Amino acid sequence: MSKTVYHIAATCSLLFLSACASMAPEYQRPAMPVAGHWAGEDDAPAPGGGHAAELPWRQVFADARLQRLIELALRHNRDLQVAVLNIEKARAQYRIQRASLLPQIEAAGSGTAQRTPAATSVTGESGVSHTYGLEVGLASYELDLFGRVRSLRDEALQSYLATEETRRSVHIALVAEVADAWLALVTDRQLLQLAERTLASREGAYALQQARAEEGNASQLDLRQAEREMEQARAQALSATQQAALDANALELLVGLPLDASLLPEADVDLDTVLGTREIPAGLPSAMLQARPDILAAEHRLMAANAHIGAARAAFFPMISLTAATGRGSDALSSLFDAGGRTWRFVPQITLPIFTGGRLQAELEVSEADRRIAVAEYEQTIQTAFREVADALARRSTADATVQAQSKRAQAAAEVDELVRLRYDTGVSDYLEVLDAQRTLYAAQQDRLQAEQARQGSLVSLYRALGGGWLAQGQTDSAAAGPSGG
């Protein structure tokens, strides 16, 4: 009995030691390779603003149809589905590595029949012998004294967490892309309406010039110029029709299923009502480290590479494994559980690498190089994110003024067009001035619509660049559960 207690205590001690060891280097987050503030931005938080990551997308995108499309996209978009499936795969891989830390208990039964010929039999007679056995015990279990299995488990865990952050990044990008596609469709439908109104105006002008030419009050030059402008307007209307159709196709691809016309925006939608906010709080660059899932994913990949170094280092040291089983054995199945049929076996094994031709050292160098690569990728991800935010802030800073300037320009162009028409009707101006005023008005109206789209798009870009809705998503979205399970 005392020997059994001793063996159990020794085994528990080894298991405890194996649970504590790790040869992975201590993880340290690299310094942030960007400035501590946004260029030209006040670092003080916006009044009552918080951070963009805390703003749910429903609060930012107020239009009911747009909200419905975003909901459908989050449910049916194939890119997001792939990201979710990658999470399930990584979760299963983590569970495989985690299971390696635990003893694997197996049961096995066997039966053997063997005929011995008379020539080799000790009795000089042939015969058939039977052996039956039943065992329950530990399969080959590695005592993780140097942390190899634990490091591989940690690597799998960090890889799983990276895929989860990647899904959140895809989620944020998808919400922003649907909003951008919506704004583009609204704007291009408004541009189509403008092109159709312009075409109708050009057709009326051509008919008027044709009638005046028949009466001898207009030259052939004026008539052909009016015809040229009419056909140009027709081509622009056709191009606008095509672009609106392409926008609808792009939106349908993002959503992931055919869209009913009732879900598409009307051309007369006021873009000012699409977004539920006029300001997105930028916060500090340091806060972005915790708000951008792509940055968090890059850091988890770095931590995974760091953990793999521990496994590569542990490979230089002995690997100890245990196999143990107890059971029953008999030469007859009916007497398998009779007294005296108990069996057991205990097989400890130690494996020590002596000569590997430099393979283990090369594997360690590969893991260290992978970590340096992961550091560079992490820093590049931060720099890219910093630039995206800075670019969005730069566009946002001039967007309102640009819309105001384009609106005034369009208003002035409309007044010029009206004055030139009056001058032409009274014979003061020639038809070239009329055509020039019409072209200027049309271009100004186009630019005004596009400036309004750019203003709303700058808010969408800033919301996306700051990891918009990430924290709110983490609180409400359970698409990717934690790595639990047996």
**Residue 18: strand, helix, or coil:** helix
Cα distances (Å, whole numbers) of residue 71 to 44, 77, 89, 256, 293: 34, 10, 25, 11, 20
Burial 350-361 (b: 16+ CB within 10 A, else e): eeeeeeeeeeee
* Separation CA 172–CA 195 (nearest Å): 34
Q: What single-letter amino acid sits at 221?
A: L
Quote the pTM value: 0.82
Torsions phi, psi for 135 (to 5 deg): -135, 145
Q: What single-letter amino acid sits at 420?
A: V
* Separation CA 341–CA 332 (nearest Å): 11
Token pair for residue 276? 């539920």
Q: Output the furthest CA–CA distance in the chain (Å, rounded).
A: 137
* Separation CA 378–CA 372 (nearest Å): 10
Q: 456, 274 in Cβ contact below 8 A?
A: yes
Beta bridge partners of 61: 275
The single-letter DSSP state of residue 334 is: G
Specify whether the backbone of 270 is left (phi greater than 0), alpha (psi in -120 to 50) or beta.
beta
Cα distances (Å, whole numbers) of residue 393 to 41, 48, 53, 346, 386: 8, 19, 16, 68, 11
* Separation CA 261–CA 248 (nearest Å): 10
Tens digit of pLDDT at every position of the chain (486 positions): 445 444 444 555 554 554 556 788 889 888 888 877 776 555 444 444 567 777 888 888 988 999 999 999 999 999 888 988 888 989 898 888 888 888 888 888 888 888 778 777 777 777 777 787 778 877 778 888 888 889 999 999 999 999 999 999 999 999 999 999 999 999 999 999 999 999 999 999 899 889 988 888 878 888 898 999 999 999 999 999 999 999 999 999 999 999 888 888 887 888 877 887 777 777 777 666 677 899 999 999 999 999 999 999 999 999 888 888 888 887 777 777 777 778 888 888 888 899 889 999 999 999 999 999 999 999 999 999 988 988 998 998 899 999 999 999 999 999 999 999 899 888 888 888 888 999 999 999 999 999 999 999 999 999 999 887 766 665 444 444 455 554
Find where tokens 């059971």 sit.
Answer: 327
Find where tokens 């020794």 sit.
Answer: 10
- Cβ contacts of 188 within 8 Å, gap of 6 or more: 240, 243, 244, 247
Helix extents (H) in 315-430: 359-425
Find where tokens 């944020």 sit.
Answer: 172
* Separation CA 272–CA 265 (nearest Å): 14
Helix extents (H) in 77-138: 78-99
**Residue 407: strand, helix, or coil:** helix
Q: 429, 423 in Cβ contact below 8 A?
A: yes
* Separation CA 265–CA 68 (nearest Å): 11
Q: 182, 457 in Cβ contact below 8 A?
A: no
Torsions phi, psi for 418 (to 5 deg): -65, -40
**Residue 346: strand, helix, or coil:** strand
* Separation CA 87–CA 82 (nearest Å): 9
Closest residue by Cα to residue 73 from 166, 189, 183, 179: 179
* Separation CA 113–CA 131 (nearest Å): 7
* Separation CA 263–CA 456 (nearest Å): 20
The single-letter DSSP state of residue 339 is: T
CATH number of 19-115+128-476: 1.20.1600.10
* Separation CA 373–CA 304 (nearest Å): 12
Cα distances (Å, whole numbers) of residue 161 to 366, 452, 465: 23, 39, 21
